[in-house]
Amino acid sequence: MTKYQTLLYYCYSTIENAELFATTHLEFCKSLGLVGRIIVADEGLNGTVSGTVEACKTYMDTIHADPRFAKTEFKIDDVEEPSFIKMHCRYKAEIVHSGLRDPHIIDPTKRTGIHLEPKEFLEMKDREDVVILDVRSNYEHSLGKFKNAVTLDIENFRDFPEKISELEQYKDKKILTYCTGGIKCEKASALLLHEGFKEVYQLHGGIIKYGKEAGGKDFEGKCYVFDNRVAVEVNTVNPVVISKCFNCGKTTAKMINCANPECNEHFTQCDDCGWAMDGCCSEVCKEHPRKRQYDGTGYYVKVPQQINVNKKGRADFIEELRPVTAQ
């Protein structure tokens, strides 16, 4: 019987006093025993939370009871244990960092690409007049992407706007955008329309929903997620592994963070190289004095670490990345 769930969701909706909302919402989540990461901005909510089935239901019911968030769609995964260690809810300028803050240019509540349900996306994606566009970052699409998708060399979604010029050759095509849960496509598709692309669509609910409702057909590899799971299976129809070990080139689906905290690079690494390199991407990182202990997972969480005692006799703390205990 399922004991825990992980919820992925977003909602573009104006929040008055969003900074105060973030503070009170954090306390509400903690009262339910939830863990996760939520971003609150004037433009809406973006979150992944995890907890017991009962706590998750209470959370979803509460969100839906608020008129501002009544249309929020939750992607629900049953999990064996909570997908986070702590609960964070922070106020930021945007719920997904794009640098596109001019509502006269980009406003997902007014104009975006046409939303395609997973089965509609599946039916359209292989047509000759269609281009599938991945709007995610390099480390995400290197782990998994749709077959024949166009990918962009971007380290972060905020780099997407400057890459629009590389897509000019596709202006006479139907553009089908996709991302993990749909949130990046809301702004990416709106920007494409603003830049003169005529037919722009987006995969509603993203890769996660596509896996649940269309079997994940032709999604090659795994889907990167922003929690302790790191990557999840999507394709139950024709799965393949496409990612390669950064060090030796062997096919592997395992993604880790470099054990050198000053590098902390996301990259794929096979188990053999993981142990040989001590969880590092290079010999330089392997010899770094602050290198973290590698336990085979390559995943590290932030925990408080005392670094000094101040003049008032109280300890000052920093957050130091430490490895999660292997399960």
**How far apart are alpha carbons 88 and 165 in whole angstroms?**
36
97 burial class (0-12, 13-18, 19+ CB within 10 angstroms)? middle
Buried b (16+ CB within 10 A) or exposed e, 2-31: eebbbbbbbbbbebeebeebbeebbeebee
Does the annotation count 179 as an active-site position?
yes
Helix, strand, coil share of the chain (percent; to 5): 25, 30, 45
Calpha distance 77→166 (Å, rounded) = 36
* Burial class of residue 283 in the structure, from the number of CB atoms within 10 Å of its CB (0-12 exposed, 13-18 middle, 19+ buried): exposed
Residue 298 in tokens: 């390559």
Euclidean distance between CA atoms 245 and 267, whole angstroms: 8
* From 11, 29, 89, 179, the catalytic residue: 179
Judged by DSSP in three states, 166 sits in: helix
Q: Look at residues 70, 81, 98, 28 and name the one whose alpha carbon lies nearest to residue 229.
A: 81
Beta bridge partners of 277: none
For residue 13, CA distances in Å to 41, 58, 141, 232 come to 9, 21, 28, 29
Active-site residue list: 179
